[in-house]
Amino acid sequence: MILTGVLLAVFGLGLVGWFAARGRARLLYTGRGSMHSMPAYHGWHMALWILVPALLAWGVWSAIMPGLVEGAVFADPAAASLPTDPMTLGAIVSEAHNLASDPSATAFNPEARVLVEPIRAAQARFGLIGALLVMVVAIAGGGYGFTRIRADFRARTQVERAVMALLLAASLMAVLTTFGIVGSLVFEAGLFFKDVSPIAFLTGTHWSPASTMGANINDNFGAVPLFWGTIYIGAIIAMIVAIPLGLMSAVYLTQYASGAMRKWLKPMLEILAGIPTVVYGYFAALTVAPMIRDFAASMGMQNPSTESALAAGLVMGVMIIPFVSSMADDALAAVPRAMSDGSLALGSTKSETIKKVLLPAALPGIVAGVMLAISRAIGETMIVVMAAGAAANLSANPLASMTTVTYQIVQMLTGDQEFNSPKTLSAFALGLVLFVVTLILNIVALRVVKRFREAYE
């Protein structure tokens, strides 16, 4: 709490420093008549010298403070009677930290209450030390920044460099996050493939990770049914719904709809993209799935399941419509008007112009939209969790229950699981395969656009 409060004080000090430096620069400007940088740049320069060192000091102290607190707690006489078993000791200390932050919490280990007061005292002491350190660094930085206020000082250059560094850090954050995700997936998947053969994983047709006792472990981790379920639901059934409806809606909005009609219809269509996927999941589980089950029963199917690939695929296709429609809309709108006017002038009807001129010309954008839609569909989780089922079936029957890669990832990583078991680590292997597939789809989409794009004058 103390370190959090000092952040507000640092930002307040930065604001005061900004006004002070700007006022000082204005006085210099009034006295000399000219300066290299405007007074506001001097204000920002001083604010940066207050905030950046202080925030760095705050981050460093926040990282080392838990270790200092733990050392002080274990040095307290109250910790002398604690058990030496690392697992038991860790549970007691973790519970004591929870009690220290939330006095109303329940203690399962009586020994944890002994550590509450030492933890609070250590946190208060080191929090105060950290707050003082941060404020000293902020004041020192502000003092240095204030001494730099001169008529010939290039404050604007320094501020612009700082802004460029901030923008570069923001850009690198996304790249480093991606590398971190890939690294964690590869590392955990590598642990899984130490126990399970990659060939058996990628080509096996039996998925039963819970049955790891006795027989060859490779026989229980055949992921082909999961890959088939993911492709069947996300790339076949969903696309059968999304591609025709999305493409036809884009053609209507760009070629037939009036301005007033487009103004109303396009936002209504794009609302579908803003609906949370859990809502789609409820819709699939409570409305679409029972209708499909009743339809299957009326067709003579024995004991039809409420969970089916068709229910999940239909609702997923509806969810994907805005992706296809938006990309196709942009691609059709980008085709030069002269091409359609020339076709009409030669006697073609509007439908012939659309079919033989506009759609071929807009094909790269449409293909890219379809590829991105497939990437989005095969990574969907909530709809398949609530409507597709958990059975790893290798079947082409759309009325059968079927599972996907994302469903199994959720199942493997939730609940009381042993993290180092092949069952849990299989989720990372599945995630790595899903990541590679979506990456390939995105690369293919970009290459299709680059290869078949036509340059229009």
pLDDT digits (tens, 9 = 90+) for 221-234: 888 889 998 999 98
Query: Residue 47 and residue 258: Cα distance in Å, rounded?
Result: 53
- State residue 212's pLDDT score: 57
Longest dimension (CA), the chain: 96
- Residue whose token pair is 């492709």: 231
As a CATH number, domain 217-455 is 1.10.3720.10
Which has the higher per-residue pLDDT, 414 or 427? 427
Q: Which of 114-123, 319-328, 425-434 has the lowest mean pLDDT?
A: 114-123
- Region label for 305, one of left (φ > 0), alpha (ψ between -120 and 50) or beta (otherwise): beta
Whether pLDDT at 123 is above 60: yes
Query: Residue 440 and residue 432: Cα distance in Å, rounded?
Result: 12
Q: How confident is the model at residue 457 (pLDDT cuts 50, 70, 90)?
A: very low
Residue boundaries of the structural domains of the chain = 2-153, 217-455
Query: Residue 152 and residue 36: Cα distance in Å, rounded?
Result: 5
**Is 130:65 a contact under the CB 8 Å cutoff?**
yes
Q: How confident is the model at residue 32 (pLDDT cuts 50, 70, 90)?
A: low
For the stretch 336-371, pLDDT in tens is 888 888 888 888 888 888 888 888 888 888 888 888
For the stretch 235-264, pLDDT in tens is 899 999 999 999 999 888 888 888 888 888
How long a stretch of residues is the chain?
457
Q: How confident is the model at residue 424 (pLDDT cuts 50, 70, 90)?
A: confident
Write the DSSP assignment of 379-439 as a string of letters.
T--HHHHHHT-S-------TTS----HHHHHHHHHSSS--TTSHHHHHHHHHHHHHHHHHH
Q: Which of 92-96, 210-214, 282-286 has the lowest mean pLDDT?
A: 210-214
Global confidence as pTM: 0.71
